[in-house]
Structure 1
Amino acid sequence: MRISMDLLRTRHRERRLLELCLETQQRCVIDNTNPTQAERAVYLAAARAAGFEVVGYFFQSVAADALVRNQQRPPERQVPDKGIRATRNRLELPTRAEGFDQLYFVRVLDNQAFDVTSWQDEI
């Protein structure tokens, strides 16, 4: 089950669908930006309390690339440029200590393929 604000449009719907997935032990994917530890903590705590294994995927974030991809969206689906920049400015890199059982780093390659590697908490 994919849980996404892009699809559900309201936090209430998102919260209800997440609750239903957790109550029924339905595996799900949270497909949201969640740039801060505090935002991720809401999902992590709920999933851990329900006994789920928590796997995170951090997609490489390059604001210039995001702005280009945004311009390729239909006009009604575009995010204001200032919104993309503001989210980038709030970005806090994830760590396993937040409660992830597994954490991965994802790079989007030039051919739109993905390069997925295990997360390194330290450089």
Structure 2
Amino acid sequence: MQLILFIGIPGSGKSTYYTQHFFHTHLRVNLDMLRTRNREKRLLEYCFQTSMPLVVDNTNVTLQDRKKYIDQAIQHRYTITGYYFEANLQGCLARNASRSGRQLVSEKGVLAKYRALQLPSWEEGYHELYYVQLTSSNEFITKPWQHEVQ
């Protein structure tokens, strides 16, 4: 089974990418929807117990954020795929500003995630790792991870 881990600041396109690429094949685990870590933990346990493929659609900007998911996936013999979403700060702020209600993240919150962002590395335990760019025409370009892309 597969755990897909999204890595990116608010407004980088993670949830839209999920909808376009994984909606019909992977369960979405997202704190914005679940609201509590306890609910997230219980849903993750269910997925691992039932061998459900899943996407963790949170920001996951730090190594520590990602480690807990990766460790669980390794324990349950899942393959781990990471998708790093380009942190184009101006584009992310603009897309975020067009949101409303609970989807809107404060500018301060977006900046905090941007500052905390740690790039993923193969050493974290990924089987596959990708770099995702969102173009000005809102199309995704997905490339295999290469250090020189950064």
Give me the TM-score of the superposition, normalised by structure 1: 0.95
Deviations 1:39-68 (A, max 9, x none): 100000000110000001000012221111
Which residue of the partner structure matches residue 132 of structure 2? Answer: 106
What amino acid is aligned across from residue 124 of structure 2 in structure 1? Answer: E
Q: Indicate the SS of the match to 2:120.
A: coil
Work out which of the residue numbers 4, 12, 17 in structure 1 matches 2:43. Answer: 17
Q: Offset of 1:19 from its aligned partner?
A: 0.9
Q: Do the aligned residues in 2 keep the contact of 1:96 with 1:121 (CA within 8 Å)?
A: no
Question: Is the 1:105–1:116 contact (alpha carbons within 8 Å) kept by the matching residues of 2?
Answer: yes
3-state SS of the aligned residue for 2:141?
strand
Paired residue type of 1:95: S
- In the alignment, structure 2 segments of 5+ residues that lack a partner are 1-26
Q: RMSD of the alignment, in Å?
A: 1.2
Q: Is residue 112 of structure 2 the alignment partner of residue 74 of structure 1?
A: no
Q: Do structure 1's residue 117 and structure 2's residue 125 form an aligned pair?
A: no
Question: Take 1:110 and 1:67, find their aligned partners in 2: how far apart are those partners?
Answer: 13
Q: Give 1:22-61 correspondences, 5 Å limit.
A: 22-61=48-87
The amino acid of 1:42's aligned partner reads K
What TM-score comes out, normalization by structure 2 length?
0.78
Match of 1:96 in 2: 122
Aligned to 2:20: none
Which range moved further: 63-72 or 43-52?
63-72
Question: Residue 56 of structure 1 contacts residue 100 of structure 1 at CA under 8 Å; is this kept in 2?
Answer: yes
User: 3-state SS of the aligned residue for 1:54?
Assistant: strand
> In 2, Cα distance between the equivalents of 1:23 and 1:34?
23
Distance 2:147 2:71 in 1: 20
Higher Cα Rg: structure 1 or 2?
1
For residues 102 and 47 of structure 1, the distance between their equivalents in structure 2, rounded to whole angstroms, comes to 14
Q: Which runs of 5+ in 1 are unaligned?
A: none
From the superposition, tell whether residues 82 and 27 of structure 1 become closer, same or farther in structure 2 (CA, over 3 Å).
Answer: same
Kindly indicate whether structure 1 or structure 2 has the higher relative contact order, using CA contacts under 8 Å at least 6 residues apart.
2
Runs of 4+ in 1 over 3 A off after TM superposition: none
- Cα distance per residue 1:5-45 (max 9 Å; x no partner): 11111111111101110111111010010100111000000
Q: Paired residues, what number?
A: 123
